[in-house]
Amino acid sequence: LPPERIALRPLAERDASRLLVYRDGSISDRVFRELPEVLPEGALLVVNDTRVVNARLRFVKDTGARIEVFCLEPADGGPVEEAFR
């Protein structure tokens, strides 16, 4: 996403955040408070509460290969976990 499309702060009304829904081959724009209407009965909702520290490291190797490292906040005060791309 372009930087101007990435939210840096949550909305005052958290349940007013945008929700993109893909169903039966079509896409619709909804808001998060409508999630119960969108999920089918018996659906399992998995929440990922991983926090990403504002620490992105970018490298370019001599070969031209690009490496991007996202530093994630340690869960228990231990070593920092990274996500490589």
The predicted pLDDT at position 62 comes to 94
Q: Could you state, in order of their start, the residue ranges of all structural domains in the chain? A: 1-46, 48-85
Average pLDDT of every residue of the chain: 83
Average pLDDT over residues 17-42: 93
Q: pLDDT grade, residue 1 (50/70/90)?
A: confident
- On the question of pLDDT at 48 being above 90, the answer is no
- Count of helix runs (H) and strand runs (E) in the chain: 1, 5
Q: Are 67 and 59 in contact (CB under 8 A)?
A: yes
- On the question of pLDDT at 85 being above 70, the answer is no
**β-strand partners of 83:** 70
